[in-house]
Structures are given as structure tokens and as C-alpha cells.
Amino acid sequence: MKKNYVMSLFLCAGIFASAQVGINTETPEATLDVNGNVIVRTVNTAGSAADYDFLVVNSTTNEVQKITGNLAATNVNTTMAKAVESDGVSLLSGGAYAGWERIDFGGGHVPINPGNHFDAATDVYTVPSTGVYAVNFEFRYGNGVQLQLLSFGGSPRVGVLKQGGPDGYTVVDERVFSGANVNLFGIGALSVTLSSVSMNSLYQFTAGDVLSFEVFPGGISLDLLGDSYTSVTIHKISD
């Protein structure tokens, strides 16, 4: 009789060892199927620099699964680029579009992401993937305010241009240097021109778009460009 009792215990133990166990469910779908909240009273602290696996919950199946790797790894935005010219701006007139002239940043003036998406040799940025991009474009010539006779050959302005379109280019956006007419000490009307302008906005671009950052000089004296500054930053912020 004792032998039969012991055999029954081993048989039951084998059944439980291979069976699926359900808590608050009569139809378990895993080795351990818990239908309810789980409270863990004590959790050991791991080293902050260690590379651990992580347990996560699949929102579709509610199954607990494992992710391998350190979830604290830094996410690098590879679309970022910056170009700066602070020693006097030169303009490339060879490929000018209807008076627009591309800014020549020079090979050593692209401190972020040189040669990747921003090509310092051609001074263009090629959009790596379709999405919304933040663009900041600043330009200053001379020192603050300029007094000139009203003889501009068109309003001086800066713009972001995209290659292609019916004219060979498309003006994505532009900003005009602001100015006003004044009578200075009774000597006649002069143009007071604020010699700094900036663009800071969001734009939708398509992968492969080629962008350039340009100036429409109008009546700006090229002598003033020897004392000038420009900066461009661009990066993707959303799909």
C-alpha cells in the first residue's frame, strides 16, 4: 500500500512538472499563465553600466518577452549638419539662379557632419530621408545698420533653394532685409537697412532633395561682405 502511495506521488509530481499552470484562469496558454496583476516584493539592484536583457510585455499577446541589449544607449540623429562662415562671406556666382548666389562655406567650415549630407565641396545639403526638417539660417553683412541711397537692384534677401523645378530651382523660403526711407539731417532720402536677417522654421522635404543656402545681393555692396557672418543648421525632427 505504501509503495502505491509513493508511486502516485511521483506520478502526480511528473504531471504537474509538465503541465501548464494557470492563476485566475482555467485555460492557461503558457507554462505559467497569470490573469491578474503581479507584485514583486524584492528586486535586486544591478550595476548601472552593465549590459542586461530586459523583460517587456507584448501589447498584442500580453506575453512577457525578452529584449537583448542596453535600452539606455544614445540615439544619434545622423541628419544633423551645421555650416558656419565668420571670416567674411564669399558667394558662388557661377551657378546663380536668376540673381541668387550660393554661399561658399569652404571645406573647413562645416563643424558638424562634414562630407556626409552637407557637401562642403559643393555647399549643398542632400536630404537623407523624407520628413519634416528644422532649418535655421542666419546672415549678417556689415555692422548692424547700413545707410545707402535707394538704388537697390531688387530687395536684398536670403533664401533656401531646392534644385529642380521649371526654373532649375525652387525657392523653399526667403527673408528680405528690412529697411526704411528716412530724411537724414535734411540731406535727402536715404535707405536705412538692417543688415542682419534670420530664418527659423520647419519644412517638409523628400529624400534626395538638394538644398542650397543663398543670397540675392540686390544693392548690397560686395565690399560689405568682407565683414560678414552666416550660419546654417538643419536636422530632421519627424517623419
How confident is the model at residue 69, as a pLDDT?
65
Domains and CATH numbers, the chain: 2-68 (no CATH), 81-238 (2.60.120.40)
Q: How many Cα atoms within 13 Å fall on the side-chain side of residue 198?
A: 9
DSSP strand pairing (32-34 vs 90-97) = unpaired
Beta bridge partners of 100: 97
Q: What per-residue confidence (pLDDT) applies to 204?
A: 98
What are the angstrom distances between the C-alpha of 44 and each of 39, 41, 55, 62? Answer: 14, 10, 15, 25
Closest by CA position to 220, among listed 191, 199, 198, 200: 191
Q: Among positive and negative, which fits the CA dihedral 88, 178, 93, 117?
A: positive
Decide: helix, strand or coil at residue 94: strand
Q: Residue 141 corresponds to which cell in the numbers above? A: 553683412
**Cα-based distances in Å from 50 to 70, 71, 72, 197, 219:** 8, 11, 11, 49, 62
How many angstroms separate the CA atoms of 165 and 168, rounded?
5
Walk along the chain (239 residues) and give the pLDDT tens digit of each residue.
Answer: 555 554 455 445 544 555 788 889 888 888 888 888 888 788 777 666 566 777 888 888 888 888 776 655 556 788 999 988 887 788 876 556 788 999 988 766 776 665 679 988 888 999 999 999 999 999 987 665 555 543 445 678 899 999 988 888 999 999 987 655 555 555 555 555 567 889 999 999 999 999 999 998 876 665 656 678 899 999 999 99
